[in-house]
Chains A and B, each alone.
Chain A
Amino acid sequence: MFRSGFDRLKTYFRDYRLLGSGLVVAIVILVSVLAPLITSSDPNALNAQHRLEGPSTDFLLGTDSFGRDLFSRLVYGARLSLTVSLGSVIIGCLIGTTIGLVSGYSGGMTSLLLMRVVDLLLAFPTILSALFIIAFVGTSVTTLIITIGILFIPEFARIVHSSVLAVRELDYVSASRTIGNSNFRIAVRTILPNILAPIAVQFSMALGGAMILESSLSFLGLGPPPPASSWGRMISDASAFLRVSAFGLIWPAIAISLSVLAFNILGDAIRDRLDPRLRQ
């Protein structure tokens, strides 16, 4: 399977959607990693005399209500949003995949129970669940990553579970079992590679979702504590001053939209690429 996968890589570059969204994602990642190189101003430095100004030579994108440079806040905000999103999706993916594997493979009562719980968690509005967890553990970057991570477990568990179910009955699995391979071996060697594709798609979509969740929570004031420049928080800070200056809203709004859009399109493009596999 993998060999043909590498071959496919070449054709990926000809897909415009993939290329475009991949580019945006790459930019976001680069900006977050290279933040200190891109902007030298401190995102938290206050300037009482330059509040709510528009773009100028000193402040590329303008200033917010505290007189902080919007451009550097945006750049460091990318780093924050990406860290939280990536961290949480990785957690959700690892734990969710494990649960999905266990559930899909064992079947029976365990599976039923696990999946029912997963279903309930899935249907529950993520923001509410997040609110509850946060009321408890408080807001810091770490707890946020764990909270959002937990909330993404169900999605991965479900995808993996159904993929496993579909793959389980395939010939090579039965063949593998007849040979005498242990369950664990079967799971890892034969099933896992086959579900990598749906996981990859889910990963990308989840990144978009995590970014939305993180910015929503920051907007509500439950995100990383100030002066952290999460994009969501930048928007809520700006909301009180819309009549004076809209720049504080516009830049982070564009940033969030483009990033999430890119993740979603990327996920879509990957999924379409792997369509035949997902037909199961």
Chain B
Amino acid sequence: MTQYVLRRLALGLVLVWVVATLVFLFVHILPGDPAQIILGGSETRQPTAEEVESVRVRLGLNDPLPIQYVDFIRSTVQGDLGNSFSNNRPVFDDLALRMGRTLQLILPSVVLSALIGIVLGVVAAIHRGSFLDTSISAIGIFGNSLPSFVTGTVLVLLFAIHLNLLPSSGYIEFSKDPRRFLLYLTLPIITLTLGGLGPVMRMTRMTMVEQAGGDYVRTARAKGLTERVIIYRHILRNALVPVVTVIGLQLGSRFAGTVLVETIFNWPGVSSYLITGVTNRDYPVIQGSMIVIATIFVVINLMTDLMYAVVDPRIRHV
């Protein structure tokens, strides 16, 4: 078992390193000069070639690529993700800040879609084949089909513009004004939850239906256990494993996948940090964000695999 874990860990590290290298290459191939952007594209005044050069030197952009690469890897390993070109602040600090804000969106919505999804999935499975089942499945598919920006924009139209109940976008720290914070949080969370419901619900229903046909269920029934006990204590418990996997995957992919929601609702999270970084050719921001995101994936993937390995000994030898 430990061998398996170590092997996966090593693989994970390699992957993060690969991502870091690819991103490094990527940003340097991107057209567009960060120095130009820093000096500003003021309409009436363009920076001179000398000014641009001096900024490039200051940022270390004129050093030969291999040297820049080595510096980059070395400082990253030490935990230093560099300073943003735009505002000179440590990328690590800003990322932590932004990460917190993205988590404020992801965690509640994942939990909500998990809870609601499981409940709906169980209900659908129990009443399999009935109208209830079909309608719940319909909701699930519907949620899956609507792109988040469609859901989000329609919600804004309904609640912010027509009914004027909620603000259409924005952010404020919880510590500054808890009430307004919650108001700002509502629509994005609803959007994300609706989008995440579908897969959880369908997976729950599917695995429960699968499990219900299993031998041990027949045995349990033969033993005379009540239907209720069978469902909740046996079937659901077994069915939950893949469901939890789905939830875990959602958590992972959500980190940068909240791009659309953060855009529509102006939520200053990791996605907008990354996009602004790309727009501004802010190399440290792009590299730092990608490395952190990749690491999160690797960790979540690892944990998911571990869980599988715990459950199914066969996999450990793959």
Contacts and interface: CB of A to CB of B under 8 A. Distances in A.
Interface in B194-218: none
Contacts of A219: 147, 149, 260
B161 interface: yes
A133 to B, nearest CB: 10
Interface string A17-47: 0000000000000000000000000000000
Interface string B251-280: 011111101100110000001001100100
Interface in B130-187: 141-142, 144-150, 153-154, 156-157, 161
Contacts of A253: 150, 153-154
A136 B274 CA distance: 15
A78 to B, nearest CB: 16
Given A212-B147, A261-B141, A239 B153 contact: yes
Contacts of B259: 125, 127-128, 131, 220
B233 to A, nearest CB: 26
B232 interface: no
Contacts of A249: 153-154, 157
A123 interface: yes
A116 B252 CA distance: 17
Interface residues on B, range: 35 or more
Interface residues on A, range: 35 or more
Contacts of A232: 147, 149
B278 A256 contact: no
A216 to B, nearest CB: 5
A117 B144 CA distance: 26
B297 interface: yes
A131 B275 contact: yes
A261 B147 CA distance: 11
Q: Looking at chain A's contact residues, is the secondary structure mostly helix, strand, loop, or mixed?
A: helix
A35 B252 CA distance: 41
Interface string A109-145: 0001000100110011101100110011000000000
B145 A125 contact: no
A242 B161 CA distance: 8
Contacts of A263: 145
B301 interface: yes
A135 B283 CA distance: 14
A100 interface: no
A211 B51 CA distance: 45
Interface in A213-264: 215-216, 219-220, 232, 235-236, 239, 242-243, 246, 249, 253, 256-257, 260-261, 263-264
A180 to B, nearest CB: 31
Nearest to B279: A135
A225 B205 CA distance: 42
Contacts of A246: 157, 161
Contacts of B142: 257, 261
A160 interface: no
Contacts of B263: 220
Contacts of B11: 116
Nearest to B154: A253
A123 B249 CA distance: 7
A208 B257 CA distance: 18
A242 B156 contact: yes
A216 B153 CA distance: 12
Nearest to A215: B147
B222 interface: no
A150 interface: no
A123 B253 CA distance: 6
A120 B249 CA distance: 12
Contacts of B156: 239, 242
A135 B147 contact: no
A265 interface: yes
B34 to A, nearest CB: 14
B256 A125 contact: yes
A128 B277 CA distance: 13
B146 A260 contact: yes
B141 A120 contact: no
Given A132-B26, A232-B147, A232-B149, 19 more contacts: A112-B318, A119-B301, A123-B249, A125-B253, A127-B260, A128-B257, A131-B275, A132-B278, A215-B149, A216-B260, A220-B259, A220-B263, A242-B153, A246-B161, A249-B153, A249-B154, A257-B142, A261-B142, A264-B144
6 contacts: A232-B149, A242-B157, A242-B161, A256-B147, A260-B147, A265-B141
Interface of A: 112, 116, 119-120, 123-125, 127-128, 131-132, 135-136, 208, 212, 215-216, 219-220, 232, 235-236, 239, 242-243, 246, 249, 253, 256-257, 260-261, 263-265, 268
